Amino acid sequence: MEQSQFLANTLVIGPSPEGNRQRILRIGHRGAAGHAPENTIAAIRRSVSLGVDFVEFDVQRTRDGRLVVMHDTLVDRTTDGTGMVSETTWDELQLLDAGNWEKVPCVEEALAAANGHVGAILEAKIPGIGPAIHRVVRASAFSGPVIYASFLHAEILEIRKIDPLARTMALMECVPVSGAALARDAQRSLAYHFIAQPPSSSPRSMMPASRYFCIPSTTLG
């Protein structure tokens, strides 16, 4: 029951081993938010144990330039600290409790935890970090499929300039009038992304996963 509840809210259309062009891919949102403190190594490991195909996590940059895994621009909601990620150093972040004594991981640590088990979806949360995320992924020798995602479409366009074969995902709060035209004109893979807001009573860093994706099979190629 626990696993089915976690996976039921994620729908992806992709190629099927049976030749049918539609199948369900299981994506762990912020690692396994709702089962472990979001965007932590524990959440990624929990996601793997639940049998997901991809683990999704959010990326920001610290004051001293380290790419770290965190959704909010403020550390307040998911840690016992206060302040903006961009005004906090890596060493200062490591002093914070991200839930159940977990630390805020860097992108390299998150990729290492997922490597050999699942694919990775990295969402750029702030402007100007798309190429840096791509460099870290390439340097990590991550062996699974990677999708670069963002609501900030300029970030994934910059990645495509560096690596035309990169799998990218444009995230949107609503469905465009012509999704195909949007994807074609922006030279990126198309995805529809809807967010169901969690109840306000959800405990800190334990928000339920509620994301819906539709990805063309070519992005999984």
Domain layout of the chain by residue ranges: 2-220
Mean pLDDT (the chain, rounded): 80
At residue 187, the pLDDT reads: 55
Q: Strands 167-170 and 146-150, how do they pair?
A: parallel
List 29, 35, 134, 193, catalytic entry? 29
Structure tokens at 198: 């969690």
Q: Is 71 a catalytic residue?
A: yes
Lowest mean pLDDT among 139-143, 172-176, 186-190, 202-206: 202-206
pLDDT higher than 80, residue 213: no
Mean pLDDT confidence for 45-60: 96
pLDDT higher than 70, residue 184: no
Residue with tokens 């900030």, as numbered in its chain = 152
pLDDT higher than 80, residue 78: yes
Lowest mean pLDDT among 38-42, 107-111, 183-187: 183-187
Q: Is 29 a catalytic residue?
A: yes
pLDDT higher than 70, residue 31: yes
Amino acid at 195: I
pLDDT higher than 60, residue 133: yes
7, 26 Cβ separation under 8 angstroms: yes
Residue with tokens 């991809």, as numbered in its chain = 54
Instruction: Label residue 15 by pLDDT band (50, 70, 90).
Output: very low
What is the CATH architecture of 2-220?
Alpha-Beta Barrel (3.20)
Mean pLDDT confidence for 17-34: 79
pLDDT higher than 70, residue 210: no
pLDDT higher than 60, residue 83: yes
Q: Collapsing DSSP states into helix, strand and coil, what is residue 169?
A: strand
Q: How far is CA 100 from the centre of its chain?
A: 21
Mean pLDDT confidence for 194-202: 38
List 35, 71, 134, 193, catalytic entry? 71
- HSE-CB at 212 with a 13 A cutoff on CA atoms is 9
At residue 9, the pLDDT reads: 35
